[in-house]
Structure 1
């Protein structure tokens, strides 16, 4: 009888060990499957790419929307980038506190005066495009007061005299068409223009018509603004976009990740009147404006 009981106990112990081993293997396999799922999530970043178009790959089934060779859209799509892993640096050469927001840093120098913030960085990029494409006479922006300040008049020597909301222009300097004077002009624009003036001055664009170069905006003082720097489409007409931004304090212009939909990051989708969440800012709805 004792032998029988002893054998039964041994058998029960073996059954318990076998079940425990089986359960352990099942848990291990489940954990392995979960880890595998994390690892195989799509990654659209090419770390050796030195421009927006070569840094970010296109998801399967999509292709880049074509634009004319010398267009602003192509200028942005092929904008040069700093090496992968470059940090966001503030105007005073300190590191920005959030280094996990971006996939790339654009080759846009940050002035040490701290003036080049979110809207300013985009006005600079647009102005440099016009300068480089021999369209200098098109460079100009409205102050928040509503007064238009063009590079052409600034280069001729005209300077604003500002008293409250009243602005008048007077010829007080010698003509100067140099690149150095051009950046002095931009510093003036940075001081007296911003998201609010851009929103009132520029064309409003519905989501159904947005393209590279259009800007996602929350007008205000302060507000925020980000620019579309690439655009792709599939056979069904579904489009996705990349966003870049300058920020406050004045800092590196960066290409943003998409934390709300990591399966397509850094690509974004937009819906009319729907909010947009980007790493540094919440836009209560998708509002876009377009440079002239």
Structure 2
């Protein structure tokens, strides 16, 4: 017992030292996660739950914000999960080095080609939702160059001819509206779109207007992006949210713990003009965007 206490105190000492500099923030969160897993257990996790709705319970005094049946928000809230305890697996079949920062794994296959990274996974979720609602004509994303590439265009046989920042779409293939061809289209999107293009293309959302499906983004090469997958509210109007992410290398999409406020983990509170720290990334100037 004494040895465990000494180890924890040692980790906490390193934690406070690392809090003194920006570069140590990510290591700090890893240490906090290890300490949390050592001395506490999640309070809001139902291990038998097979969806976000049934896996994560809510704090006293809060209720889930209602959304229309069939909406993108309800689609995310009811997203299916792997069994509790499932590890984060990389595209090559290896286990990710940080297994302590997630509370659930979403049932999204990870292609072995390594293309489905953080922004890609969220674009896939959005595209699959539109496909499931027979709204295929609305599936489309902009490349980082700014050129719009729709599923309809791709299905009709048009392919991009890319020369630097110049893109032309040329008829090269026969019409093919199959699901198999749809995933080939997504692989093309994964190659030429990402956090930077989503940040530029999508409308920004005020903190007061956030809803399920909105995404926390830091554009870059690489940048990072995370998506709100649930939302709760109390009688005072205070809200909390759940965050999920894909990552680099390409890997399972996971529901994130909250190491900054472990009393409510995996729920998050967002405050105006304050940074948002998640286990894998730090949004010092949070920007939220919304799919059109």
TM bucket normalised to smaller:
0.7 to 0.9
**What residue number does 2:98 align with?**
98
Give the superposition deviation at 1:39.
Answer: 8.0
Q: Equivalent residues in 2 for 1:66-85 (5 A)?
A: 66-85=66-85
Q: Judge conservation of contact 1:207–1:286 (CA < 8 Å) in 2.
A: no
Distance of 2:91 and 2:154 partners within structure 1: 26
**What residue number does 2:205 align with?**
205
**What residue number does 2:258 align with?**
258
**What residue number does 1:58 align with?**
58
Give the superposition deviation at 1:41.
Answer: 7.7
Distance of 1:58 and 1:285 partners within structure 2: 28
**What residue number does 2:193 align with?**
193
**What residue number does 1:35 align with?**
none
Distance of 2:40 and 2:111 partners within structure 1: 41
Give the superposition deviation at 1:286.
Answer: 2.1
Distance of 1:164 and 1:216 partners within structure 2: 29
Q: Equivalent residues in 2 for 1:85-234 (5 A)?
A: 85-234=85-234
DSSP-derived class of the 1:44 partner: coil
**What residue number does 2:245 align with?**
245
The 1:40–1:180 alpha-carbon spacing in structure 2 relative to 1, beyond 3 Å, is closer
Q: Judge conservation of contact 1:154–1:185 (CA < 8 Å) in 2.
A: yes
DSSP-derived class of the 1:286 partner: coil
Q: Judge conservation of contact 1:270–1:286 (CA < 8 Å) in 2.
A: no
TM-score by length of 2: 0.86
Give the superposition deviation at 1:42.
Answer: 6.7
Q: Judge conservation of contact 1:41–1:263 (CA < 8 Å) in 2.
A: no
Q: Judge conservation of contact 1:271–1:286 (CA < 8 Å) in 2.
A: no
Distance of 1:39 and 1:97 partners within structure 2: 21
Distance of 1:136 and 1:259 partners within structure 2: 38
Work out which of the two has the higher radius of gyration on C-alpha atoms and give 1 or 2. Answer: 1
**Count of equivalent residues:** 255
Aligned-CA RMSD value: 1.2
Cα deviations across residues 56-85 of structure 1 (Å, max 9, x unaligned)? 001100000000000000000000000000
Unaligned runs of 5+ in 1: 1-37
The 1:188–1:74 alpha-carbon spacing in structure 2 relative to 1, beyond 3 Å, is same
Q: Judge conservation of contact 1:142–1:148 (CA < 8 Å) in 2.
A: yes
TM-score by length of 1: 0.86
